[in-house]
């Protein structure tokens, strides 16, 4: 879950450049320019919302041609290659994992081939793309996926993991909570329920917490050699790491951020402070053996 500021400016020009190539003519793009112009305008107007978009009746030949163009290495389409290269190992725009490895069509090519090359419809994603597949809508009214460009709050903190029973067998509970100001509750619930793997997110936080307990300096470098002098210092150092992670990935819902935020939760923080401030504790030593 990450906000993108993809611009739709220059997209029609890029398409016109594709249309002037032999491949573009083969794909019949040149003969459909008026149709594309209308479709692109409609996409922006309706903010990519599949409940409002008419889409065109899928035509297998047109769909195949557009899919072929999506994979073509044309100079006019260099923005797709750039997006693909920049995506690797970064925050997934749909679920927040740090395993992006492909570019997804928000409105799937299968149903909306006209947006195969349209940048505002393209986003880096991880394997959660398999859960999305060719789906666009949920079964109930208003259910749809959040759009990384048009749903303003997609990068605001919405994913939380609560860590409990710290000593022997900690438990990890994933909670998705709507950020303030989210108007489209049905879309938010459908998106987090369908795309965010609670098991995978809990595992990510579990790995992080175990790494932290084994050696706190693995997560906060300052803890390698010194113990925090007060709970306020501990909080500030963890918060600095959290801010850094949010900035680095440009989203509060990247999974490292979810982990660091879990450490700052009131009861978890109190537990960490008790362990770190235990009399005689050697700086850098394990908090507990998990
Ligand atoms: Zn994902």
For residue 27, the CA-to-ligand 1 centroid distance in Å is 31
d(CA 180, CA 100): 27
Establish if 216 belongs to a structural domain. Answer: yes
In terms of domains, do 220 and 130 share one? no
For residue 204, the CA-to-ligand 1 centroid distance in Å is 13
Cβ-based neighbours of 59, under 8 Å, separated by 6 or more:
113
Last residue of a domain, one of 86, 113, 137: 137
In terms of domains, do 70 and 121 share one? yes
In terms of domains, do 79 and 124 share one? yes
Element (H, E) at 60: helix 60-71
d(CA 20, CA 41): 21
In terms of domains, do 157 and 267 share one? yes
In terms of domains, do 99 and 24 share one? yes
For residue 220, the CA-to-ligand 1 centroid distance in Å is 26
Establish if 144 belongs to a structural domain. Answer: no
In terms of domains, do 132 and 227 share one? no
For residue 270, the CA-to-ligand 1 centroid distance in Å is 32
The closest alpha carbon to 187, from 142, 154, 148, 150, belongs to 142
In terms of domains, do 185 and 214 share one? yes
Establish if 203 belongs to a structural domain. Answer: yes
**Domain that residue 218 falls in:** 153-276
In terms of domains, do 192 and 115 share one? no
Last residue of a domain, one of 137, 172, 190: 137
For residue 228, the CA-to-ligand 1 centroid distance in Å is 35
- Whether the CB-CB separation of 267 and 256 falls below 8 Å is answered with no
Residue whose entry in the numeric block shows the structure tokens 């923005």: 79
For residue 274, the CA-to-ligand 1 centroid distance in Å is 36
Establish if 38 belongs to a structural domain. Answer: yes
For residue 1, the CA-to-ligand 1 centroid distance in Å is 8
For residue 109, the CA-to-ligand 1 centroid distance in Å is 18
In terms of domains, do 170 and 121 share one? no
Establish if 16 belongs to a structural domain. Answer: yes
For residue 37, the CA-to-ligand 1 centroid distance in Å is 30
Last residue of a domain, one of 137, 171, 188: 137
In terms of domains, do 47 and 158 share one? no
For residue 124, the CA-to-ligand 1 centroid distance in Å is 8
In terms of domains, do 127 and 157 share one? no
For residue 116, the CA-to-ligand 1 centroid distance in Å is 20
Establish if 285 belongs to a structural domain. Answer: no
In terms of domains, do 108 and 184 share one? no
- Whether the CB-CB separation of 246 and 98 falls below 8 Å is answered with no
pLDDT at residue 135 in the model: 87
Task: Say how many domains are in the chain.
Answer: 2
For residue 284, the CA-to-ligand 1 centroid distance in Å is 34
Establish if 187 belongs to a structural domain. Answer: yes
CA angle 207/212/154 to nearest 5° reads 60
DSSP track, 194-224? HHS-HHHHHHHHHHHHHHHHH-GGGTSGGGG
Per-residue pLDDT of the chain (290 residues; tens, 9 = 90+): 999 988 888 999 999 998 888 887 777 788 889 999 999 999 999 999 999 987 666 688 888 889 989 988 888 899 999 998 887 778 999 999 999 989 999 999 999 999 999 999 999 999 999 889 888 899 999 999 999 999 989 989 999 999 997 666 899 999 999 999 888 999 999 999 999 999 999 999 999 999 999 999 999 999 998 899 999 999 999 999 999 999 999 999 999 999 999 999 999 999 999 999 999 889 889 988 66
For residue 226, the CA-to-ligand 1 centroid distance in Å is 37
Establish if 26 belongs to a structural domain. Answer: yes
């Amino acid at each position: 879950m990450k906000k993108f500021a993809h611009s739709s400016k220059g997209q029609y020009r890029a398409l016109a450049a594709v249309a002037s190539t032999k491949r573009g003519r083969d794909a019949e793009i040149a003969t459909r320019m008026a149709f594309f112009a209308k479709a692109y305008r409609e996409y922006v107007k309706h903010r990519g919302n599949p409940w409002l978009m008419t889409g065109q009746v899928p035509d297998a030949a047109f769909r195949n041609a557009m899919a072929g163009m999506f994979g073509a290495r044309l100079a006019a389409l260099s923005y797709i290659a750039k997006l693909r290269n920049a995506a690797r190992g970064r925050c997934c725009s749909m679920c927040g994992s740090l395993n992006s490895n492909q570019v997804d069509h928000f409105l799937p090519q299968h149903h909306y081939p006209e947006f195969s090359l349209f940048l505002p419809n393209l986003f880096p994603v991880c394997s959660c793309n398999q859960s999305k597949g060719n789906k666009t809508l949920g079964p109930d009214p208003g259910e749809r996926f959040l759009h990384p460009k048009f749903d303003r709050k997609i990068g605001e903190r919405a994913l939380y993991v609560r860590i409990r029973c710290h000593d022997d067998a900690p438990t990890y509970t994933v909670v998705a909570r709507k950020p303030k100001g989210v108007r489209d509750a049905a879309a938010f619930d459908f998106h987090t329920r369908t795309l965010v793997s609670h098991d995978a997110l809990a595992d990510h936080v579990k790995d992080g917490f175990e790494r932290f307990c084994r050696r706190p300096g693995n997560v906060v470098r300052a803890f390698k050699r010194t113990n925090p002098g007060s709970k306020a210092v501990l909080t500030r150092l963890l918060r600095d790491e959290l801010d850094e992670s949010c900035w680095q990935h440009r989203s509060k819902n990247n999974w490292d951020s979810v982990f660091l935020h879990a450490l700052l939760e009131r009861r978890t923080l109190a537990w960490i402070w008790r362990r770190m401030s235990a009399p005689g504790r050697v700086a850098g030593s394990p908090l507990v053996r998990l």
